[in-house]
Amino acid sequence: MQQNLLDLDAHALTAYFTEMGEKPFRARQLMRWIYREGESDFAAMTDIAASLRDKLAQSACISAPSVMREELSDDGTRKWLLDMGTGNAVEAVYIPEATRGTLCISSQAGCALDCSFCSTGKQGFNRNLSVAEIIGQLWWANRQIGRNAEGNWPISNVVMMGMGEPLLNFDNTVSALRLMLDDLAYGLSRRRVTVSTSGIVPAMDRLREECPVALAVSLHAPNDRLRDQLVPINQKYPLRELMAACQRYLERAPRDFITFEYVMLDGVNDTVQHAHELVRLVADTPCKFNLIPFNPFPQSPYKRSRPDAIQRFRDVLMQADIVTTTRKTRGDDIAAACGQLAGQVQDKTKRTASRTISFHK
């Protein structure tokens, strides 16, 4: 079986070449070809000895997930449905803006956390994605979009806010993060790579030690009683523990604040009283809030908060000197908005019925 080189970060790739009896610098050469040049054909890697290229062609490959479908929004947002095999699929979304290009990627097929407002959680959990399947979303998207006029890859920011809980696929997520940060690969700043978590406290501490990037926490409630209902993992890691973990993370974080994501659910978590409770909750934690208008899905019991309710909620946070933004809805016409992005995939039981999977945790 051929070794997929997208599965190997710099350390693992060096070990791979050492086992082949090759010098460590070969790993650096190959990384530049794979990530800086976006090359998958060993024959095109002209500064690598022909004998080694032949050997690699026999024993290795550079293989990203295959694309089942691509859609383009009127606002420039692009969505790809990616085949992960065995009836599993995830989606990646590219959001172009004037000063940056952001790619939202997945870490798992399905999700085990079952947040009550999320359609992904209703699908259940299928499996973790491999390193190649995670970094392959970035590798493929860059190649598909193509370099800009300056010769640079278009994606400047990566957010792991897609399907799944990244910190429940910790080792593969961290290996992929290291490739995003490695100067021989994508060379992204830690500030431009964001991991979103629903609050897996021990893994947050591990990430702080091993690969601290920007952190976004899916909060969604100001107290344990409500968060237990909306985000069931809160029953294991309640808010007191979560907030303490956020403060520990800030000691090594590339940014001096935590981003809290807060989906706005009409009549559930969006009152002025909830906002005041949030202010008290985060009083000791430097942070900013990203308010997310809920995007309904079939069988959901929730509705999107009214614009005036969102504004009143935002005003309370802003008056407490908490930077607060309301997420813009992008890609509505291709179902690419947060909590709405979906693809029809056959489930793991191989039944003919298909499931709708969402890109938001």
Assess contact for 270 and 228: CB atoms under 8 A: no
Report d(CA 123, CA 109) in Å as an integer: 9
What are the angstrom distances between the C-alpha of 102 and each of 95, 99, 138, 180?
5, 10, 10, 13
**Closest among 170, 193, 177 to 135, alpha carbons compared:** 177
Residue 338 designated active-site: yes
Helix ranges restricted to H, 149-261: 170-181, 201-210, 224-230, 239-249
- For 96, the enclosing helix (H) or strand (E) is strand 88-96
For the chain, the straight-line distance linking the first and the last C-alpha, in angstroms and rounded, comes to 34
The alpha-carbon radius of gyration of the chain (Å, integer) is 21
Report d(CA 64, CA 134) in Å as an integer: 9
CB-CB neighbours of 349 under 10 Å = 7
Q: Angle 187-216-290 (CA atoms, 0-180°, nearest 5)?
A: 115
CB-CB neighbours of 152 under 10 Å = 11
Residue 176 tokens read as 């992929």
Cite the beta strand spans of 97-145 per DSSP E: 101-104, 108-110, 125-128
189 SS3 class: coil
> Under 8 Å CB-to-CB from 42, ≥6 apart: which residues?
48, 53, 56, 57, 60
What are the angstrom distances between the C-alpha of 261 and each of 11, 130, 137?
34, 26, 23
- Catalytically annotated residue among 91, 133, 165, 261: 91
What are the angstrom distances between the C-alpha of 292 and each of 53, 105, 310, 337?
49, 18, 9, 10
Residues annotated as catalytic (active site), given as ranges: 91, 338
